A and B are shown apart, each in its own frame.
Chain A
Amino acid sequence: MTTALTFVAAEGEGFTAPGPGSFELPPVFEIGSLGVTKSMLLIILSAFIVVGLSWYASRKAAVVPGRAQFAGEYLYGFIRNGVARDSIGSEHFMKFVPYLFSLFTFILVNNYYGIVPFLQFPSFSRISYVYGLAALTWLIYNGVGIAKHGFLGYLKLQTIPSGMKGPILVLLIPLEFLSNILVRPATLALRLFANLFAGHLLLILFSLGGAYLILDSGNAWYAPVGVVSFLLGIAVSFLEMLVMFLQAYVFTLLTAMYIGSALADEH
Chain B
Amino acid sequence: MDTTLLAAEGEHSPLAVEWPELILGLIVFGIVVALVAKFVVPNFEKAYAERTAAIEGGIEDAQQAQKEAQAALEKYNAQLAEARTEAARIREEAKEQGAQIVTELREQAKAEADRITAAAHAQVEAERAQVLAQLKAEVGDLATQLAGRIVGESLEEEARQKRTVERFITELEGSAN
Q: Does A8 sit within 8 A of B, measured CB to CB?
A: yes
Whether the Cβ atoms of B28 and A65 lie closer than 8 Å is no
Whether the Cβ atoms of A40 and B24 lie closer than 8 Å is yes
Chain B contacts for A40, CB-based, 8 A: 20-21, 24
Identify which of residues 44-59 in chain B touch chain A, using a CB-to-CB cut-off of 8 Å. 44, 46-48, 50-51, 54
Q: How far is the CB of B1 from chain A (nearest CB, A)?
A: 5
Q: Does A247 sit within 8 A of B, measured CB to CB?
A: no
Whether the Cβ atoms of A126 and B40 lie closer than 8 Å is no
A74 vs B6: C-alpha distance when bound (angstroms): 47
A44 vs B2: C-alpha distance when bound (angstroms): 32
Whether the Cβ atoms of A98 and B9 lie closer than 8 Å is no
Known A-B contacts A98-B41, A131-B17; the reply to A46 vs B51 at CB < 8 A is: no
Stretch at the interface among A14-22, A141-149, A226-234: A14-22
Whether the Cβ atoms of B14 and A23 lie closer than 8 Å is yes
Whether the Cβ atoms of B25 and A43 lie closer than 8 Å is yes
Interface residues contributed by chain A, number (CB under 8 Å): 55
Q: How far is the CB of A98 from chain B (nearest CB, A)?
A: 4
Whether the Cβ atoms of A44 and B28 lie closer than 8 Å is yes
Please tell me which one of the listed residues A16, A106, A193 contacts residue B32 in the complex, with CB atoms under 8 A apart: A106
Please tell me which one of the listed residues A16, A61, A99, A193 contacts residue B50 in the complex, with CB atoms under 8 A apart: A61
Chain B contacts for A179, CB-based, 8 A: none
Chain A contacts for B17, CB-based, 8 A: 127-128, 131
Q: How large is the interface on B (under 10, 10 to 19, 20 to 34, 35 or more residues)?
A: 35 or more
Chain B contacts for A168, CB-based, 8 A: none
A24 vs B4: C-alpha distance when bound (angstroms): 13
Q: How far is the CB of B73 from chain A (nearest CB, A)?
A: 33
Chain B contacts for A65, CB-based, 8 A: 47
Q: Does A197 sit within 8 A of B, measured CB to CB?
A: yes
Known A-B contacts A23-B14, A97-B41, A129-B22; the reply to A102 vs B9 at CB < 8 A is: no
A44 vs B50: C-alpha distance when bound (angstroms): 34
A175 vs B68: C-alpha distance when bound (angstroms): 67
Q: Does A69 sit within 8 A of B, measured CB to CB?
A: yes
A-B complex: 10 closest residue pairs judged by Cβ atoms: A98-B37, A58-B43, A129-B25, A128-B21, A21-B9, A61-B47, A128-B22, A128-B18, A132-B25, A132-B26
Sample 6 A-B pairs with CB under 8 A, ordered by A number: A14-B1, A20-B9, A46-B32, A55-B39, A55-B40, A129-B22
Q: CB within 8 Å of B: which residues of A?
A: 1, 4-5, 8, 14, 16, 19-21, 23-24, 34, 37, 39-40, 43-44, 46-47, 50-51, 54-55, 58-63, 65, 69, 72-73, 76, 80, 97-99, 101-103, 105-106, 123, 126-129, 131-133, 135-136, 193, 197
